[in-house]
Each structure stands twice: as C-alpha cells, then as structure tokens.
Amino acid sequence: MTIETLSTSRAYGGVQGVYRHQSTATGTPMTFSVFVPEHEPGERLPVVWYLSGLTCTHANVTDKGEYRGPCARHRLIFVAPDTSPRGEGVADDPSWDMGQGAGFYVDATQAPWMPHFRMRSYVEDELPALVAEHFPVDMARQAITGHSMGGHGALTVALRHPDRFRSCTAFAPIVAPGQVPWGEKALGGYLGPDRAAWRAHDAVALIEDGARLPDLLVDQGDADGFLAEQLRPELLAAACEAAGIPLTLRMQPGYDHSYNFISTFMADHIAWAAKRLG
C-alpha cells in the first residue's frame, strides 16, 4: 500500500505529517494526518486514533486539537483520519449531518451510500494496516478517542474490539444514536429501517448486548447546545452502571461543543491513554 506525503513539519521534536492514499474500502482518495514523536531508530511507539465529528476532516483536530505537546511528552503517535469519503461521484446530501463529512463510521448497506461509505472497514481495517506499514507503530498498544460523531465511532469501535484497544475515551460523544435524531437519520439512511442492524453501531446498545471495556473516560460540556437532544450521556452512564463498566463522566461547567472544549481537555485524554498503554 502506497501513500503520498502532502506535507510535513517539525513539532515538539517530532514530525507532523498529512498523507493521502487510494482507499480500497471507500474507492476514493483518503487523507489523514499522523504525528510521530521523536524516537530512536527502529523503536516502535504506542498509537492513539482520533475520530472527528460531523462536518470535520483530519484538519480540524490537526490544526486545533493541541495534542502534539502531550503526545511528545508521553511518546505516543497520533493518527487522525477523515470522517467520510469525498469527491466527485460520491453520494452526498444537502444537509450537513448526512453524506460527505458525516459518515458515522459505518459500512453503508443502502443506496446511494453503499459504494463508498465504508468508514467502519476503513478505520477498523484498512487504515490501521496502512499506518502499521509506513509508521513506527506498536500495534499491540493502541488507544482510541473521538469527538461527537467521532466519539460515537471511538466507543463503538472499542466495544467491538476490546482486545485491540487498551484505552478508550471520548469528547461529547453521541452515545446512543438509535435514540437521538442525528443517529436515527444517519443509521436509517446508511443501514436501512431494521433497527436491529443499528445495534452494532450504538454504544449503549452494544453494552446492553454484552460488550465490555475495562473503563471509559468521557468529557462533556454542560453548556453544549447538543447535550439534551443529541448526546445524552446519562444513557451511557446508566448502561455502564448496569454492566459494571467503570465510567469517568466529567461534566465540564461552561464548556460547549467546540474545539476550545476539546483542546482544553486533550492533555487529560492523552495522559489517560498513556497510563494504559505503558
């Protein structure tokens, strides 16, 4: 698998790069960013995967996430993919919460999305194999995190692969897409009307169906305009309590849904991952 280097720059002693490749999962070019801290030749480092939210690309967290300093201190690689396939010939929707920029980390089974919207396969299989081939990643030590729609992605990917990830955290995640308007629209559109098929893409449903993680960290701003209708962290708290999953849910006073919120607590999430990655 080949990659094209779009840019590299020095940061905190390491290298921040942006790369592109032709994806077999989506059938489109896909762009992603990777920060690699300073390291010894031949050394392999743990990795943190970051999944972005609605309307975002790799660039949002790369430009505004403030992860490079903490990753350099803890010596963690940080990988940020795009949120969906893009380009001419890729299905889209006039609304901002469906289509390009809103892939929801699922493999679509419905027209017109099915040919390209295969973000589950991309983030679970293709991109990890690509990154392992081209970067000094220790794939035995992986963590995952994400924001909003990407928080939904991080939780569901980790719950489906508990042996792969030693750490899972999220910023303002959509915890129960099967019970909120964003998720009902997206899962119905991509996967069809059978709600049983949605459960593999719903963190609360996965926990109810027996999926488990050692622990979780979730930060949520209490001034987030999407809190009551779309995010509903109390559903995750109830599911974790019933399943015996230790959940650290931090309601952050005065914080909204923006990257100012994410960047404020990013160092905590990197430290949480570092402690579990060793």
Compute the distance between CA of residue 255 and CA of residue 22 in angstroms, rounded to an integer.
38
Q: In what order do the strands lie in the sheet with 137-146?
A: 4-11, 14-22, 29-36, 77-81, 45-51, 137-146, 165-171, 216-221, 247-252
Burial-class residue 275 by CB neighbours within 10 Å (0-12, 13-18, 19+).
exposed
Active-site entry in 52, 84, 148, 167: 148
DSSP class of 126: I
Per DSSP bridges, beta strands 77-81 and 29-36 are antiparallel
| Contact call for residues 240 and 211 (beta carbons, < 8 A) | no
Q: Render 235-265 in DSSP notation, one character per residue.
A: HHHHHHHHHT--EEEEEETT--SSHHHHHHH
Active-site entry in 116, 147, 152, 257: 257
Compute the distance between CA of residue 199 and CA of residue 27 in angstroms, rounded to an integer.
26
Compute the distance between CA of residue 90 and CA of residue 99 in angstroms, rounded to an integer.
9
Active-site entry in 107, 116, 224, 269: 224
148 carries an active-site annotation: yes
Residues 35, 146, 203, 86, CA torsion sign = negative
257 carries an active-site annotation: yes
194 carries an active-site annotation: no
| Contact call for residues 105 and 125 (beta carbons, < 8 A) | no
| Three-state SS at 275 | helix
Catalytic residue ranges: 148, 224, 257
